[in-house]
Structure 1
Amino acid sequence: MGIRNASLEDIDNIIQLGKSVNEFQVSDEVITFWSKEILTNCIQSKINPILVAEENKQIIGFIIANYNPSFKKATIENIYVNLESRAKGIGKLLLTNLLKELKKLNCEYLCSLTQSDNPKAVEFFLKNDFNKGIDCIWLDKILSDKFKK
């Protein structure tokens, strides 16, 4: 099993995995996972890390971050490990490698959002030295048809 930067050839597999769960859904109006165009832009940008966990040439997990160099702040957009591979340290490896990538970009702050009714995700971040912040309500506004369901 290894962790590496995602390539353009990985996008279809990442989308398939991302669409296979409902944890990434933020509202009934918005797409549930990123489009091929958005993931392509992230990979080509070199400042929005996407890492994949691979076993036997199969992608079994990924982590996607959005880095804003002006604020020196990154947000973990998504982290996913397939059900059969969970509780084996793969999420931690993805996060550890993401931190290395973000440090290369001079990132000074990292945050993540998770659903309050997903205790395993909350526990994962707390075990990895994240601090629990305030509870929030997700509010969004669609500015492009690309984000409509």
Structure 2
Amino acid sequence: MSHVHVREFASSDVDGVLELYLSEDTWFEDIGVSKEYILECSRRQDFKFIVAEEENRLIGFIGFLFFTNVGRCEVGPIVVSRKKRNEGVGRLLVSEALKFLAGKGMKRAVVRIKAANPSATSFFMKCGFAFEAYLRHYTSQGEDVVQLVIYFPVT
């Protein structure tokens, strides 16, 4: 992972982010993500993408929505290329996101994960998140969700 570079999203990253996003089998909600949607999100003042690249190729990204007026944020989506998983890229993305959010004065961040995805729950708990709630029939498809939380400052 020594050659992995993490930085803020640029509009030229849209194809790579979409490719990574579409490489996943399932998502929290199927909202019809497109290039236009990604660019629209990236222009919002309350949303940020951070990307990870290696040898000028995107290998991961994380997005997060933050509300500076109340000090809360929601983390997700996050994707790491299947070939680069378990190499620390995801943790690096989460770490960079949390640093950014701390700098914005956030008090807490949540991530919601389908209950049927225990590996994602385990990943975020290893990143410092803790169980907060089990939400029944939460998604548009009626799936249960686990909500994890982390409080700032992150230690």
TM-score after normalising by structure 1: 0.83
1:94 counterpart SS class: helix
Paired with 1:75 and 1:139, the residues of 2 have a C-alpha distance of: 16
1:3 alignment partner AA: V
Residue of structure 2 equivalent to 1:145: none
Paired with 1:35 and 1:74, the residues of 2 have a C-alpha distance of: 23
Residue of structure 2 equivalent to 1:20: 23
1:138 counterpart SS class: coil
Residue of structure 2 equivalent to 1:147: none
2:8 alignment partner AA: N
Residue of structure 2 equivalent to 1:58: 57
User: What is the total number of aligned residue pairs between the two structures?
Assistant: 137
1:95 aligns with 2:98: no
Paired with 1:105 and 1:42, the residues of 2 have a C-alpha distance of: 18
Residue of structure 1 equivalent to 2:31: 31
Runs of 4+ in 1 over 3 A off after TM superposition: none
1:4 aligns with 2:3: no
Residue of structure 2 equivalent to 1:138: 138
CA RMSD of superposed structures (Å): 1.9
Mind listing any 5+ residue stretches in structure 2 that lack a counterpart?
Answer: 141-155
Instruction: State whether residues 5 and 53 of structure 2, in contact with CA within 8 Å, keep that contact through their aligned partners in structure 1.
Output: yes
Residue of structure 2 equivalent to 1:129: 128
2:59 counterpart SS class: strand
TM-score after normalising by structure 2: 0.80
2:21 alignment partner AA: G
